[in-house]
Amino acid sequence: MRAFILLGLNCGYGTADIGRLRIEQIDFENQWLGELRGKTGIARGAWLWDETVEALRDAISRRPITTHERLHQ
């Protein structure tokens, strides 16, 4: 939940944005989040705060292990 809240505050992300977010869109080394907007296809990006990067790493490490193919795309 912390990562969710920080993405909203830090990047202006809503629930749909977070739901579509892919790990490969997050550049942890440069603290940058970049993607194309869902509706318009316009490039969108945001510098990530240290707290946001830390929360994202924590959330990713706590993801449930699954064999469901859709969750591994």
Write out pLDDT tens, residues 15-67.
988 988 899 999 999 999 998 777 788 888 999 999 999 999 999 999 887 76
> Which residue has 């809503």 as its token pair?
14
pLDDT band at 2 (very low <50, low <70, confident <90, very high): very high
Q: How far apart are CA 27 and CA 15, in angstroms?
A: 20
Cα end-to-end span (Å), the chain: 22
Q: How far apart are CA 2 and CA 8, in angstroms?
A: 10
Q: What is the pTM of this model?
A: 0.78
Can you give the pLDDT at residue 20? 87
Contact, 45 vs 32, CB < 8 A? Answer: yes
In DSSP terms, 27 is beta-bridged to 32
